[in-house]
């Protein structure tokens, strides 16, 4: 696939009555920043606002490490991930930032899950192969595997989260967007089909469109305006584990490509709360977490404190399955998941509002492609993604 070009266009406007700005993007996390970049690169007048400062830890876009992978069974998500890979590389070209490190990725555990993933990769012409558990153990001595191991060698890796968000915001500003931090959106008022009044802590903004990518705060902002699915906000608690000095997968002080990204597809008989994911985390060791089992929380009243029982279970998992890591010295990490009942994304245009919500703990990798889809919706253009809807 050729790399998409993002060439600044002549300034254009979203059709509609006079306004302060064409499009307000609410939320400067990874999806909001990606949307602002995509819109601004098309010449649309964009204002990106966020209630917090740059690099804050209150939402779901902070930290050093997020998994990038194309191992999806559902074709719309796999195709979106493929598009995102090219756009991450495009963003690196635009900004000069090194964001995506290809490490290779492995999936193991439940055989039906890994077989389905392999079938999907094969159907889309994506490289992959199998190793038996002993072969995988010889390649990655710091890991233990359940069942045949699916290896994706060249389209799986690690994104540096903080740097990725910063690069997207910089690319948006470089293309003409304006960015305001410490600006709380207090209320959205829809005025017909072509105007939204955005009441903020810094005053009112009139816009022709508003893209709301507010993560855990989506329900509060959109209540009564858009028919959202039930959104469950949880405080998740993965942890960084130090690498043991004698582990060939990654000596102390080094968390490079020798550690693949990994997903362990567990089942009820395995005794774990959920599936497990992991990846190298620069300067921290290896990040390991259960997926989507944290306690429900109010994003404005989070404790940021690991629940001891879940942390103990995670340490137990690491001791059994990741002997190359020091299970006794975790560094807990806190972030939010905003999840839909089926873990699918909610992408919808409704009048002058465009909503991006419910990324369910696996949305980061898709961000630049999601920005393209949301920019299409905001501009009233047809979008190729079947994940998006209008109405």
In this structure, what token pair is assigned to residue 224? 């009564």
User: With contact defined as beta carbons under 8 Å apart, do 186 and 198 qualify?
Assistant: no
Q: Where are the domains of the chain?
A: 1-101+158-230+340-391, 105-154+233-339
Burial 80-114 (b: 16+ CB within 10 A, else e): bbbbbbebbebbeebbebebbbebbbbbbbbeebb
In 3-state terms, what secondary structure has residue 341? coil
Instruction: Report DSSP letters for 312-324, one per residue.
Output: HHHHHHHHHH-TT
Q: Which tens digits make up the pLDDT trace of 201-217?
A: 999 999 999 999 999 99
Whole-structure pTM value: 0.93
Could you tell me which residues come within 8 angstroms of residue 96 by beta carbon, excluding any fewer than 6 positions away?
A: none
- Per-residue pLDDT averaged across 156-179, rounded? 97
User: With contact defined as beta carbons under 8 Å apart, do 271 and 209 qualify?
Assistant: no
265 secondary structure, DSSP code: E
Q: Which tens digits make up the pLDDT trace of 375-389?
A: 999 998 778 799 999
Could you tell me which residues come within 8 angstroms of residue 26 by beta carbon, excluding any fewer than 6 positions away?
A: 32, 49, 185, 188, 198, 210, 211, 212, 213, 214, 221
Distance CA 144, CA 250 (A): 15
**Of 214, 198, 217, whose CA–CA distance to 206 is shortest?**
198
Domains 1-101+158-230+340-391 and 105-154+233-339 share a fold: no
Q: Which tens digits make up the pLDDT trace of 41-60?
A: 999 999 999 999 999 999 99
Q: Which tens digits make up the pLDDT trace of 218-276?
A: 999 999 999 999 999 999 999 999 999 755 455 434 444 489 999 999 988 899 999 99
Count of positions (residues) in the chain: 391
257 secondary structure, DSSP code: T
Give the residue ranges of DSSP H helices in the chain.
Answer: 30-41, 75-95, 111-123, 133-139, 161-174, 218-222, 308-321, 367-378
User: With contact defined as beta carbons under 8 Å apart, do 255 and 243 qualify?
Assistant: yes
Distance CA 244, CA 135 (A): 21
Task: Give the Cβ contact number of residue 221 at 10 Å.
Answer: 21
Q: Which fold has domain 1-101+158-230+340-391?
A: FAD/NAD(P)-binding domain (3.50.50)
In 3-state terms, what secondary structure has residue 233? strand
> What CATH class is the domain 105-154+233-339?
alpha beta
pLDDT at residue 384, rounded to an integer: 79
User: At residue 330, does pLDDT exceed 50?
Assistant: yes
Q: Which tens digits make up the pLDDT trace of 274-323?
A: 999 999 998 899 999 999 999 999 999 999 999 999 999 999 999 999 99
Q: Which tens digits make up the pLDDT trace of 75-103?
A: 999 999 999 999 999 999 999 999 999 99
Q: What are phi and psi of 331, to 5 degrees?
A: -115, 95
**Of 315, 257, 264, whose CA–CA distance to 282 is shortest?**
257
User: At residue 9, does pLDDT exceed 70?
Assistant: no
User: With contact defined as beta carbons under 8 Å apart, do 147 and 116 qualify?
Assistant: no
Distance CA 120, CA 122 (A): 5
Burial label, 2 (beta-carbon count in 10 A; 0-12, 13-18, 19+): exposed
User: At residue 17, does pLDDT exceed 60?
Assistant: no
- Per-residue pLDDT averaged across 181-207, rounded? 95
Distance CA 187, CA 257 (A): 45
Pairing of the two strands 203-212 and 353-357? parallel
Distance CA 83, CA 3 (A): 9
Q: How would residue 11 be classed by pLDDT, with cut points 50, 70 and 90?
A: very low
pLDDT at residue 269, rounded to an integer: 87
């Amino acid at each position: 696939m050729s790399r998409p070009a993002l060439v600044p266009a002549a300034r254009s406007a979203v059709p509609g009555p006079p306004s302060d700005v064409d499009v307000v993007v609410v939320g400067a996390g990874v999806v909001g920043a990606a949307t602002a970049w995509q819109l601004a690169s098309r010449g649309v007048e964009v204002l990106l606002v966020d209630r917090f400062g740059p690099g804050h830890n209150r939402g779901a876009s902070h930290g050093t490490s997020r998994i990038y992978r194309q191992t999806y069974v559902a074709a719309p998500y796999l195709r979106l991930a493929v598009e995102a890979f090219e756009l991450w590389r495009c963003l690196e070209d635009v900004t000069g930032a090194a964001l995506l490190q290809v490490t290779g990725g492995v999936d193991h555990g439940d055989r039906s899950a890994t077989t389905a993933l392999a079938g999907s990769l094969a159907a889309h012409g994506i490289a992959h192969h199998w190793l038996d558990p002993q072969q995988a153990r010889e390649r990655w001595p710091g890991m233990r595997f359940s069942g045949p191991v699916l290896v994706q060698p060249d389209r799986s890796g690690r994104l540096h989260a903080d740097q990725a968000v910063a690069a997207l915001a910089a690319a948006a500003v470089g293309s003409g967007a304006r960015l305001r931090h410490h600006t709380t959106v207090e209320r959205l008022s829809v005025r017909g089909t072509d105007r939204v009044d955005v009441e903020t802590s810094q005053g009112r903004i009139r816009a022709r469109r508003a893209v709301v990518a507010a993560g855990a705060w989506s329900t509060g902002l959109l209540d009564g305006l858009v028919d959202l699915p039930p959104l469950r906000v949880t405080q998740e608690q993965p942890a960084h584990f130090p690498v043991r000095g004698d582990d060939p997968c990654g000596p102390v002080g080094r968390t490079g490509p020798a550690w693949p990204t990994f997903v362990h597809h567990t089942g009820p008989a395995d005794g774990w709360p959920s599936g497990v994911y992991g990846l190298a985390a620069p300067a921290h060791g290896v990040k390991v977490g259960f997926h989507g089992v944290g306690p429900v929380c109010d994003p404005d009243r989070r404790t940021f404190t690991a629940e001891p029982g879940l942390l103990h279970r995670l340490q137990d998992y690491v001791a059994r399955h990741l002997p190359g890591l020091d299970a006794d010295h975790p560094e807990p990490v806190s972030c939010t998941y905003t999840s839909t009942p089926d873990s699918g994304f909610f992408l919808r245009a409704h009048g002058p509002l465009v909503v991006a919500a419910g990324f369910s703990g696996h949305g980061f990798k898709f961000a630049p492609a999601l920005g393209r889809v949301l920019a299409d919706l905001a501009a009233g253009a047809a979008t190729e993604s079947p994940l998006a809807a209008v109405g």
